[in-house]
Amino acid sequence: MSLLTCDRFLQELSDYLDEDVREDLRRELEKHIAECPNCWVMVDTTKKTLKIYKELEPEPLPEDLKQRLMTALQSKMGSGTAS
């Protein structure tokens, strides 16, 4: 039986998902997930949260905003101030 509490599990959740935990701790966490339905749901839904956000492409800049950016850059670059 896992000795980890759910609170302790939650503290390690991020590092676990990032695969940034020691091997012995990883085994403990996985044991806890196998025994605790609530923590299993936390892992599954947090993983899905990250997946959804990673798939989110940044929107293209609106054309007028892009135009204003380029105008501002052009005036600065035209004056040759890069150092």
Compute CA distances 32 → 16, 39, 45, 77, whole Å.
Answer: 12, 8, 16, 58
Measured CA to CA, the distance from residue 23 to residue 18 in angstroms comes to 13
Name the residue among 50, 42, 2, 54 with its Cα closest to residue 26: 2
> Is residue 68 a contact residue for other proteins (CB under 8 A)?
yes
C-beta closer to other proteins: residue 30 or 74: 74
Whole-angstrom distance, CA of residue 80 vs CA of residue 83: 9
Q: Report the residue from 27, 30, 34, 74 that binds other proteins according to the rule CB under 8 A.
A: 74
Residue 6 tokens, joined = 């759910």
Site string for other proteins, 10-49 (x = CB under 8 A): xx-xxx-xx-x-----------------x--xx-xxx-xx
Residue selected from 1, 19, 22, 78 as contacting other proteins according to rule CB under 8 A:
78
Q: Which residues bind other proteins (CB under 8 A)?
A: 6-7, 10-11, 13-15, 17-18, 20, 38, 41-42, 44-46, 48-50, 52-56, 58-61, 65-74, 76-78, 80-83
